[in-house]
Amino acid sequence: MKLGKGVEWAAHTCALLALLPPKAPLPGDSLADILGIPSPYLAKQLQAMSRAGIVAAKRGASGGYRLQKPAESISLWDITASIEGTAHSFRCTEVRRSGPCGAVKSECKRPCPIAATFYDAERRYRETLDAMKLTDIVSAVAIEANQNRKDRIKEWVQTNAALPA
């Protein structure tokens, strides 16, 4: 299973937005700038997350993006699904029934063991991502970041966010 880099960008974006006070948006261009990615590409991820109800957009001079719901209720699966969709990555085409030695329909009462294994692996993958909440990620990053980096991030947020007066 290969995920596009948009999932990584979206997860980092949400982690940054989780640091903001409620209702304080960050402009999309500022988010792209701090992540070092092209603004038009991040805009696509922000639109997808907005459609999924993860982020909310506010227009105008003091506008930007903010989390639409609490960080503790947003999982990495929510973010991944908003960008990549929810279709299963494995699609069984019943190859076991093809070719000169293929099984007949009556022999295929259960799912193919290959398909069953892939489906189980994907179920576990999704459950793992669903159990990892945005607050867990932000906490892990905070533990790993040194004080200098934390101070730089705080200063950057205060400079770029539309903080309530």
Cβ pair 113, 145 in contact under 8 A: no
Q: How does pLDDT run across 4-32, given as a tens digit for each residue?
A: 899 999 999 999 999 888 778 899 999 99
pTM of this structure? 0.85
Provide the terminal-to-terminal Cα distance of the chain, rounded to the nearest Å: 45
Phi, psi torsion values for 51, nearest 5 degrees = -60, -30
User: Does the residue 119 lie in any domain?
Assistant: no
Whole domain around residue 30: which residue ranges? 5-86+133-160
Say if 24 falls within a structural domain: yes
Count structural domains, the chain: 1
Here the tokens at position 36 are 């070092």
User: Of all helices (H) and strands (E), which one includes residue 66?
Assistant: strand 64-67
CATH of the domain at 54: 1.10.10.10
pLDDT digits (tens, 9 = 90+) for 50-97: 999 999 998 877 789 999 999 999 999 999 999 999 998 888 888 988
